[in-house]
Amino acid sequence: MPSRLEVIHSPDTVKDTVARLGREISTAYAGKPLLLLGVLKGAWVFLADLARALTIPVQVDFVRLSSYGDSDTRGQGTRVRDADFDCRGRHVLVVEDIVDTGHSMVALLELLREKGAESVALCALVDKAERREVEVAVDFYGFRLAKGFVVGYGMDYGEDYRSLPGLYELHLQKDD
Catalytic residue set: 100
Site for ligand IMP in 86-115 (CB under 6 A): 96-105
Residue 111: other Cβ atoms inside 10 A: 16
Task: Choose among ligand IMP, Mg ion, none what residue 149 binds, the Cβ cut-off being 5 to 8 Å by kind.
Answer: ligand IMP
Nearer to ligand IMP, 117 or 155 (CB): 155
Residue 101: other Cβ atoms inside 10 A: 16
Among 18, 97, 150, 152, binds Mg ion (CB under 5 A): 97
Return the SS3 of 47.
Answer: helix
> Cα 77 to the chain's mean position, in Å?
18
- 127 sits near ligand IMP (criterion: CB under 6 A): no
- 42 sits near Mg ion (criterion: CB under 5 A): yes
Helices marked H in 58-144: 103-114
Task: Choose among ligand IMP, Mg ion, none what residue 75 binds, the Cβ cut-off being 5 to 8 Å by kind.
Answer: ligand IMP
Nearer to ligand IMP, 31 or 70 (CB): 70
Residue 11: other Cβ atoms inside 10 A: 14
